Amino acid sequence: MSKNYFITGGAGFIGSNYVHKLLSRGENVTVFDNLSRAGAPHNIQWLEKTFGTDSFRLIRGDVRDASLVAESAKSADVIVHLAGQVAVTTSVINPREDFEINALGTFNVVEAARLSGRSPILIYASTNKVYGGMDDVKVVERGARWEYEGLPFGAAETQQLDFHSPYGVSKGTGDQYVRDYARIYDLPTVVFRQSAIYGPRQFGVEDQGWLAWFVIAAVMGRPITIYGDGKQVRDMLHVSDLTNAYDLAIENIEKVKGEVFNMGGGRENTISVWTGFGPMLEELVGHEIKIARGDWRPGDQKVFVADIRKAQRELGWSPQVSVQEGVIKLFEWVRENKGLF
């Protein structure tokens, strides 16, 4: 039997991919999005072209509007909260707006879930930035990349929270509200602290969605700036693997409600930002890519690799798309859709 899904940020990169998946299997979907991101209208058009204009409900709204969120979500069986301000740099420039969208916006969503009286399942897209700079963890430079010293599987959910940057604080505030509403109000919530997610429909920009941005810039001949030394390491998770995890959490909600999961590619899917990714990208475009250099940016971790063993254990989940395979897929999507950029 189909469920009523309410997806905030459903026109965004992750949101549109998940909505596509839900519509493909006949779920009832409401997309709640203010359509402020550059790619959002393109993603809505793609969904409408694929499934028809009446295949889902679109509400153009903002998570800062508590009454509209509550009214729009009142019939939801499942809420997936993806809407947010997504860039550390933007949060540093405008911390108030960042707070209102991420912290207050998430509070509005969990309150809407509580007030509905339906006890909907609530999935929250948090971030690895809640762990801050992880100053208590030693990192070492090994050749062309930074690596953790003493964390062979990466950072676990037990890693100390240490919000660094307004973005880390605002997302972490939402993270803790979602967690606590499971304890205090018995709402079936799950928090995913997401690492670097990538894939098609990602209209990456310089300060968010770096891997997609590099691919877009390389294909379109736009300038690329590398901040820091380019040896920063991230674990990359393809969006299809992330949406599989959402489904598994929903299917196993009685087992995992109130839980937090670090969600990334894990140690098998790491790549260094430029020393590793640059050669891969140059091979795909068939020529050398000239880059500019910039200073380290605030809150930029030298390493983040998620320890994904809890998700593997509790959800029976693991990444299926390797970095190499996922990058090729993304490159081909960008090349085939140049008109969108």
Which CATH number do you get for residue 106? 3.40.50.720
**Domain extent at residue 275:** 4-340
| pLDDT per residue as tens digits for the range 124-164 | 999 999 999 898 999 999 999 999 999 999 999 999 999 98
Q: Is the pTM of this model over 0.75?
A: yes
| pLDDT per residue as tens digits for the range 76-122 | 999 999 999 988 888 999 999 999 999 999 999 999 999 999 999 99
**pLDDT the model gives residue 244:** 98
Rounded CA separation 303/123 (Å): 26
Instruction: Give the residue-averaged pLDDT of 42-68.
Output: 97
Query: CA angle 32-33-35, nearest 5°?
Result: 155
* Two structure tokens written together for 236: 């990359």
| pLDDT per residue as tens digits for the range 260-277 | 999 999 999 999 999 999
Rounded CA separation 331/324 (Å): 11
Which of 5, 124, 148, 167 is catalytic? The answer is 167
Residue that wins the pLDDT comparison between 205 and 319: 319
Q: Which residue has the tokens 């897929």?
A: 329
Instruction: Give the residue-averaged pLDDT of 198-223.
Output: 92
**pLDDT the model gives residue 299:** 67
In this predicted structure, the answer to whether residue 168 has a pLDDT above a threshold of 80 is: yes
In this predicted structure, the answer to whether residue 207 has a pLDDT above a threshold of 80 is: no
| Full DSSP string of 141-202 | EETTEEEESS-TT-B-TTSPP---SHHHHHHHHHHHHHHHHHHHS---EEEEEE-EEE-TT-
Rounded CA separation 203/18 (Å): 16
The CA–CA distances, whole Å, from 289 to 123, 330, 332 equal 39, 18, 18
In the chain, the number of structural domains is: 1
Helix (H, G, I), strand (E, B) or coil at 320: coil
205 DSSP assignment: B
Active site residue 167: yes
Instruction: Give the residue-averaged pLDDT of 64-86.
Output: 97
